[in-house]
Amino acid sequence: MSQSRTALVTGATAGIGAAFARHLARAGYDLVIVARDRARLEETAHGLANEFDVGAAVLPADLTTEDGRATVQERLRDTPVDLLVNNAGMSLNTPFLRSTTEGEERLLALNVHAVMALTLAALPGMVERRAGAVVNVSSVAGFGAGMPGSTYPASKAWVTNFSESVGLSVRPFGVRVMALCPGYVRTEFHDRAGINTSGTPDWLWLDAGSVVADGMADLRKGKYVSVPTWKYKVAAFGLKHIPRAIIHRVAPDVRGRIGRNDPQV
């Protein structure tokens, strides 16, 4: 009888994180699911355990805080996992000139610091065992500055480059690290950030389950960066290779959001 595999998934109660939890449970992984809301975690874990007959442990933690990150780091160091999915992330529906240091630091804490800290907690054990994988959920937005005034793409650019670089360093030890870079996905993400997506065409939206399936297929293929669907592969290519001046000209004008009396940069 084969030994069971374990995956730890952050932001596992909604959106891409919930889709990862279902996909992995269906594949027979025991789960450790992480989010802030204990009640919602327990409800999610109960449902997964009953439906797929797998272990589903909950680990409440606010990854924007040092204590929350330390809780998950300790779990990863003390009890090895076969797969870590760093999915938890956030955006700010605020142009940089109207933002606050506190808000920007929370974004960096979740999108950058948590990804770095949890990956570093998991990788040494994986390298020692010569097996394991980390998937860091990034975004196609990280390939270019197409959202003037938003620091979200910058944080995701870090996630993608970090994942590729670390992935190259651990590949000789049989360990994989991959950045998953979807486009618009139908989740709670935009609603939580207060972002109005009513003008986004239907054809641009992706299904979370399909994103996860494509990402896991790319992980098995050994890719360092996964961009689901041909339309976002084209978008990623354009953001990386079209001259910056063209991208800047077609980027949205955000002066109305910043305000007439704010400094122009």
- Per the annotation, the verdict on 152 as an active-site residue is yes
Q: How far is the C-alpha of 72 from the C-alpha of 79, rounded, in Å?
A: 11
Polymer length of the chain: 265
SS3 65: coil
* CA separation for the pair 138, 100 (Å, rounded): 23
Helix, strand, or coil here: 239? helix
**Closest CA relative to residue 59, chosen from 38, 73, 44:** 38
What are φ and ψ of residue 133, in 5° steps?
Answer: -155, 150
Helical H runs in the chain? 15-26, 38-52, 66-78, 101-108, 114-129, 152-170, 189-193, 208-221, 230-241, 244-250, 255-258
| Catalytic residue (one of 152, 184, 224, 232) | 152
The single-letter DSSP state of residue 110 is I
With tokens 């944080």, the residue in question is: 155
CB 83 within 8 A of CB 7: yes
Three-state DSSP at 257 gives helix
> Rounded CA gap, 43 and 83, in Å?
22
Residues with catalytic annotation?
152
